[in-house]
């Protein structure tokens, strides 16, 4: 090998805490061990570190990192999530978000610069003999690399390179190496994308068709679909689409390639179920959405009803094998996990989920009955308890109560059911998710609520509801960047969910990014013009912008769609009050009070706070806030909402913020 004199260049690093940001090496180190970061995430961290102690706006960071490239805020949010994950910075000790203003790198930074013998001058490089060699990578493929080698003397005889400018030689060599590497990378990537044997890691389980001829058996075919989704969702390395999205294809003739494009998946599982007496027949196949290839298809399986669990296990395993995913020991255990061995309990649970998904008063009533029936048959059926918890907490959220029921009763019943589910099986993601929402409505420990959601996501990263409800919790805490990242993850898993697509708008509206919020609500309405939640939240967003007539029109539309006598009265009262029409606001307030005094119509306490703010009765609003704080309820999540903007100058709000450990209003 030819030894050449080297030129001294500075080696620059920044140190903070246990970390070292190596700008020369382009890597992040923790006590000498590299922490992986994507290139753009590394650039974002570098910019924040270089500007440590200074507030930088998101526009400034985007302009510095992406320069003349147009990107949305989502790109920055994803990078910040990567950075916080790499730094284990969930509590924002390093990178602090300042709501509506930007970010501060708050940790003390030490700048280091050393001199290392690590480079050659252009003149030295131009004098070296070179040749292009190929080296095998980890997968056996070859890639070009530049090496300093000793060439035959005949090549190096005097005069051979004498008339070739050295700078030009450097450029030619560099261009050849870079172009060769780029061509190699492109060919390799293209081969992976078009190679039929390349593993597929994203899948949608389409609703299995009920071939029994009896519509009352829909619960069974739907339940089989849900069971397969549940089993496969726990396998790490597979991206799975949520049931609420795939069930929108039920009963429809679909083009599998279009399904793949619409859902962003590489394969779909489709087939049928026929339940006849005590016999079940299942026929499924796994199909590539890229070219329609059948990745796996077996003979129809017919089993006795009591053997249904073994049948589900077999189908799930064969799907995983068809996807060429390596399970590992943990994956094998997760796939083999059963929540009950009793077929009757299983059927009752499936019926419960079938009616729970209807999201209406009648459906909730039947769901509770079937979940309780499943528990009577198998008292250790954790999923049935989780189903009960989900039903009770949504009855509270939707305020769909039977005569004699109260909102606090629903909260107590929901908590009891969720805790029982976790007592039986602490690893049940559904129960942790339910408990997170329950605690958010009854407690004031934000860290505890967050732990429940994070635990659920760690147990089942494909559970869209966990990402969805966690996003709303982050939204309540005004951690909008993180909320947007989580709600977008929920949307990836459940892309056709109306409520998730609509709730993306809620996050942007809470962040006072009203125009973006309006665009998302309208997108949800394109999916279903009669989706009431989107109309309701669009109404609130218009009102926040001061567009009162438009907001009132949306509230009236949502009121018609919900069909409840009290629906949207709180929004209408707020809108009329804020617009200056206090007479109409008080008229509707009187109507709401009369309705809420009737048998089972109740309004959550936080809605009354908004109502009193809207009609200008600020003393009553503060009375409710103080009582809730005294009772240990979660007040913090209300204090940054745009609903309370009319109270910003009131010293009582500043005092309450101080007592719940919130910074002063901006």
Same domain, yes or no: 227 and 319: yes
Q: Closest Cα to residue 105, out of 123, 132, 124, 87?
A: 87
Residue 410 in any domain: the answer is no
pLDDT, residue 7, reads 46
- What's the total number of domains in the chain? 3
Report the C-alpha gap between 303 and 273 in whole angstroms. Answer: 11
Residue 433 in any domain: the answer is no
Residue 82 in any domain: the answer is yes
Give the CATH number for residue 280: 3.40.50.10610
Same domain, yes or no: 189 and 287: no
Q: Which two tokens stand for residue 212?
A: 């029994």
Q: What is the Cβ-side half-sphere exposure of residue 304, based on CA atoms within 13 angstroms?
A: 2
Same domain, yes or no: 73 and 40: yes
Residue 72 in any domain: the answer is yes
Of the pLDDT bands very low, low, confident and very high (cuts 50, 70, 90), residue 330 is low
Residue-wise pLDDT tens digits, 112-171: 865 544 444 444 434 434 333 433 343 344 433 333 333 333 333 333 333 444 444 444
- Would you call 273 helix, strand, or coil by DSSP? strand
Same domain, yes or no: 187 and 241: no
- Would you call 91 helix, strand, or coil by DSSP? coil
Report the C-alpha gap between 183 and 192 in whole angstroms. Answer: 14
Residue-wise pLDDT tens digits, 521-544: 998 999 889 888 899 999 999 999
Q: What is the Cβ-side half-sphere exposure of residue 179, based on CA atoms within 13 angstroms?
A: 6
Q: Please state which of the ranges 282-291, 333-342, 379-388 shows the lowest mean pLDDT.
A: 333-342
Please say if the pLDDT value at position 520 is more than 70.
yes
Give the CATH number for residue 49: 1.10.10.10
Residue 614 in any domain: the answer is no
Report the C-alpha gap between 22 and 42 in whole angstroms. Answer: 10
Query: Order of strands, edge to edge, in the sheet holding 33-35?
Result: 33-35, 27-30, 19-22, 7-16, 110-119
Residue 297 in any domain: the answer is yes
Q: Please state which of the ranges 61-75, 148-162, 487-501 shows the lowest mean pLDDT.
A: 148-162
Residue-wise pLDDT tens digits, 178-236: 444 443 333 333 333 334 455 677 889 999 998 888 888 887 888 788 878 877 877 77
Please give the residue that has the higher pLDDT: either 303 or 94: 94
Average pLDDT across the chain, whole number:
80
Same domain, yes or no: 245 and 320: yes
Percent of the chain whose predicted confidence (pLDDT) is above 70: 81
Q: Which sign, positive or negative, has the C-alpha torsion 92, 462, 414, 399?
A: positive
- Would you call 132 helix, strand, or coil by DSSP? strand
Q: Closest Cα to residue 500, out of 529, 473, 521?
A: 521
Same domain, yes or no: 76 and 102: yes
Q: What is the Cβ-side half-sphere exposure of residue 35, based on CA atoms within 13 angstroms?
A: 20
Residue 407 in any domain: the answer is no
Contact 58, 76 (CB under 8 A): yes
Q: Which two tokens stand for residue 614?
A: 């809207």
Range of the domain at 326: 202-338
Same domain, yes or no: 333 and 206: yes
Q: Which two tokens stand for residue 387?
A: 């189903």
Q: Closest Cα to residue 33, out of 19, 46, 47?
A: 19
Same domain, yes or no: 171 and 217: no
* The last residue of a domain, from among 116, 142, 170: 116
Orientation of helix 464-476 relative to helix 498-510, angle to 10°: 20
Please give the residue that has the higher pLDDT: either 344 or 306: 344
Same domain, yes or no: 222 and 281: yes
Of the pLDDT bands very low, low, confident and very high (cuts 50, 70, 90), residue 552 is very high
Residues in the chain: 666
* The last residue of a domain, from among 310, 338, 366: 338
Same domain, yes or no: 112 and 151: no
Q: Please state which of the ranges 64-73, 296-305, 354-363, 590-599 shows the lowest mean pLDDT.
A: 64-73
Please state the separation of Cα 403 from the chain's center in Å.
37
pLDDT, residue 583, reads 95
Residue 536 in any domain: the answer is no
Same domain, yes or no: 236 and 309: yes
* The last residue of a domain, from among 273, 306, 338: 338
Please say if the pLDDT value at position 42 is more than 60.
yes
Over residues 456-482, the mean pLDDT reads 92
Same domain, yes or no: 26 and 130: no
Report the C-alpha gap between 585 and 574 in whole angstroms. Answer: 7
Of the pLDDT bands very low, low, confident and very high (cuts 50, 70, 90), residue 65 is confident
Q: Which of 141-145, 297-301, 371-375 holds the top average pLDDT?
A: 371-375
Residue with tokens 């070179």: 130
């Amino acid at each position: 090998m030819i030894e050449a004199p080297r030129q001294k260049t500075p080696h620059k690093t920044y140190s903070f805490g246990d970390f070292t940001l190596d700008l020369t090496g382009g890597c992040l180190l923790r006590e000498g061990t590299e922490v992986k970061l994507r290139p753009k995430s590394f650039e974002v961290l570098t910019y924040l570190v270089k500007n440590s102690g200074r507030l930088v706006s998101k526009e400034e960071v985007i302009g510095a990192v992406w320069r003349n490239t147009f990107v949305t805020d989502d790109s920055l949010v994803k990078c910040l999530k990567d950075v916080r994950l790499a730094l284990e910075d969930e509590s924002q000790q390093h990178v602090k978000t300042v709501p509506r203003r930007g970010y501060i790198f708050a940790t003390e930074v030490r700048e280091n610069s050393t001199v290392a013998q690590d480079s050659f001058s252009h003149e030295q490089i131009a004098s070296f003999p070179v040749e292009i060699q190929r080296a095998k990578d980890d997968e056996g493929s070859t890639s070009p690399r530049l090496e300093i080698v000793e060439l035959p003397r005949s090549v190096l005889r005097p005069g051979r390179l004498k008339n070739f400018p050295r700078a030009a030689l450097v450029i030619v060599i560099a261009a050849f190496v870079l172009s060769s590497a780029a061509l190699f990378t492109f060919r390799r990537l293209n081969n992976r994308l078009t190679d039929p044997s390349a593993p597929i890691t994203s899948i949608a389980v389409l609703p299995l068709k009920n071939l029994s001829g009896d519509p009352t058996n829909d619960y069974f075919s739907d339940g089989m679909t849900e069971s397969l989704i549940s089993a496969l969702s726990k396998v790490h390395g597979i991206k799975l689409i949520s049931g609420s999205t795939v069930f929108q294809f039920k009963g429809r003739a679909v083009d599998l390639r279009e399904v793949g494009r619409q859902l962003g998946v590489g394969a779909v599982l489709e087939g049928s179920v026929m339940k006849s007496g005590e016999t079940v027949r299942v026929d499924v196949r796994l199909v590539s959405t890229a070219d329609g290839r059948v990745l796996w298809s077996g003979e129809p399986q017919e089993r006795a009803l009591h053997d249904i669990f073994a049948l589900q296990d077999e189908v799930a395993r064969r799907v995983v094998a068809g996807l060429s995913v390596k399970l590992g020991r943990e994956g094998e255990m997760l796939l083999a996990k059963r929540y009950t061995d009793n077929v009757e309990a299983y059927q009752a649970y499936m019926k419960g989920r079938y009616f729970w998904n209807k999201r209406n008063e009648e459906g909730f009533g039947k769901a509770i009955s079937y979940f309780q029936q499943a528990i009577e048959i198998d008292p250790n059926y954790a999923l049935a308890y989780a189903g009960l918890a989900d039903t009770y907490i949504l009855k509270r959220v939707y305020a769909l109560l039977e005569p004699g029921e109260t909102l606090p009763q629903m909260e107590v019943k929901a908590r009891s059911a969720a805790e029982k589910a976790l007592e039986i099986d602490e690893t049940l993601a559904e129960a942790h998710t339910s408990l997170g929402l329950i605690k958010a409505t009854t407690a004031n420990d934000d860290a505890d609520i967050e732990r429940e959601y994070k635990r659920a996501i760690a147990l089942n990263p494909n559970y869209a509801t966990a990402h969805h409800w966690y996003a709303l919790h982050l939204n309540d805490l005004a951690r909008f960047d993180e909320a947007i990242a989580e709600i977008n993850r929920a949307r990836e898993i459940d892309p056709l969910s109306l409520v998730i697509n609509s709730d993306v708008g809620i996050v942007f509206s809470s962040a006072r990014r009203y125009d973006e919020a309006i665009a998302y609500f309208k997108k949800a309405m394109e999916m279903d013009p009669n989706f009431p939640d989107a109309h309701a939240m669009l109404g609130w967003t218009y009102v926040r912008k001061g567009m009162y007539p438009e907001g009132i029109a949306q509230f009236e539309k949502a009121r018609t769609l919900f069909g409840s006598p009290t629906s949207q009265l709180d929004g209408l009262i707020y809108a009329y009050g804020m617009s200056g029409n206090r007479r109409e606001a008080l008229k509707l307030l009187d109507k709401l009070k009369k309705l809420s005094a009737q048998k089972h119509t109740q309004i959550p306490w936080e809605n009354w706070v908004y109502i009193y703010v809207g009609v200008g009765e600020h003393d009553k609003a503060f009375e409710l806030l103080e009582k809730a704080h005294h009772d240990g309820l979660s007040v913090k999540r209300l204090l940054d909402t745009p609903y309370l903007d009319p109270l910003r100058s009131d010293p009582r709000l500043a005092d309450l913020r101080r007592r719940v450990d919130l910074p002063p209003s901006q």
